[in-house]
Amino acid sequence: MTGRARIRQRLARLREALERARVDALLITSVPNVTYLSGFTGEDSALMVTGRQSVLITDSRYTEQAGAECPEARVHEHRQGLLGAVTRLVRRRGLSRVGFEESMPHGWYVELRSALGARRLVLQGAVVERQRQVKDAGEVGAIRRALAVGESWWGRRRRLLRPGRTEREVAAELVYAMCRSGAQGEAFAPIVAVGGRASLPHARPGGRRLGPGRPVLLDWGAAVGSYKCDLTRVLAPSRMTARFREVYGTVLEAQEAAIAAVRPGVTAGSVDAAARRIITRAGYGKQFGHGLGHGVGLEVHELPRIRKRDGTILQPGMVFTIEPGIYLPGRIGVRIEDMVLVTDNGCEVLTTAPKKPAHRK
């Protein structure tokens, strides 16, 4: 399927949802959602989708780019402000019920409400985000390419992770290595945490140096095109303490149980529970405070959310992370993160980097 055909298919599905909601149009302001429904990769723009047409509203900086990237949208160049252009478009077309996203900035809503009236604006929640949960074949291929680039430096990890380097230096070189392999940049600022700093789930790389006997937690991802990846590994010294080995083994067992639980028709919460039971049974339930995973695609954190008691029903085509962790403050932090694709019969693990802990001497 061509990119243009995918955009048409997405717009058709969205229009079905808008018809059920009895709205005349949807105003889309989220940058990833604009990209998903038009192909446009710029910023400071909005997309208005009606029953018959989509209109990309942008300024002169992006007009040429939009014309090349958005074959299914009419490009409207505004010269007196984006929201003013939206208001005029709504009035000119006589749209009486205009849906808006829950992610639209509040200031925008206040201005549109003042210009159009509150009754004209109808909240549509995360309608596009819910549609984006299920990836088509082209999106899955794009995510695979992002993962291939994100993991491309792994075979050279011993050279990159030389003793004496700081966390900041490793993070910078990791991003550089991914860009040399084809990434447009990092999907998010990498986490590099040495020793006890790994107990900080979102540790910022600092000045702590790699050294003998110190484990290293690495959480990173590449952005290739518009799609992202996300994975975490812990590299341990050859000689691990008994506690570290126990914690690592528990996290790995929990992750494997969660992966085995992934299949169409089950809830996201049940997958979280499969991992959480093992960690809790080992006595570390309170040290696993975050959800098990999250969707990845145009954004590094998107739907579905794999967390406690989440009732989302898994469907083929969903792509998300599975990343249980145990964090003992100032002592040990272990998180193992893979990306999985829900298939017709179960799931496929998309990540390929090995997970045995002793990869660094």
User: Residue 203 and residue 291: Cα distance in Å, rounded?
Assistant: 17
Pairing of strands 302-306, 216-220: unpaired
In terms of C-beta density within 10 A (0-12 exposed, 13-18 middle, 19 or more buried), how is residue 108 classed?
middle
Of 351, 146, 236, 165, residue with least CA distance to 173: 165
**Cross-strand bridge partners of residue 295:** 302, 320
Peptide bond into 304 cis (omega under 30): yes
ω before 357 within 30° of 0 (cis)? no
- Please name the amino acid found at residue 41: T
Distance of alpha carbon 343 from the chain centroid: 19
Q: Assess contact for 269 and 298: CB atoms under 8 A.
A: no
Tell me the C-alpha distance between 312 and 261, whole Å: 14
Cβ atoms of 183 and 222 within 8 Å: the answer is yes
Which pLDDT score, from 0 to 100, does residue 361 have? 43
The CA distance from 53 to 209, in Å, is 56
**How far is residue 85 from each of residues 89, 90, 278, measured CA to CA in Å?**
6, 9, 55
CATH number of 137-349: 3.90.230.10
Strand 185-186 with 98-100, pairing: unpaired
Structure tokens at 55: 């209109």
pLDDT at residue 360, as a whole number: 45
Cβ neighbour number for residue 258 with a 10 Å cutoff = 27
This prediction's pTM: 0.95
Sketch the domain layout of the chain as residue ranges.
3-131, 137-349
Question: 3-131: CATH homologous superfamily?
Answer: Creatinase/prolidase N-terminal domain (3.40.350.10)
Which H or E element spans position 270? helix 268-281
Residues of the chain with pLDDT under 50: 359-361
Q: Quick one: pLDDT at residue 356?
A: 80
Residues 13-55 pLDDT 10s: 999 999 999 999 999 999 999 999 999 999 999 999 999 999 9
Phi, psi of 337 (to 5 degrees): -130, 125
350 phi and psi angles, rounded to 5 deg: -85, -25
Is residue 195 a contact partner of residue 215, using CB atoms and an 8 Å limit?
Answer: yes
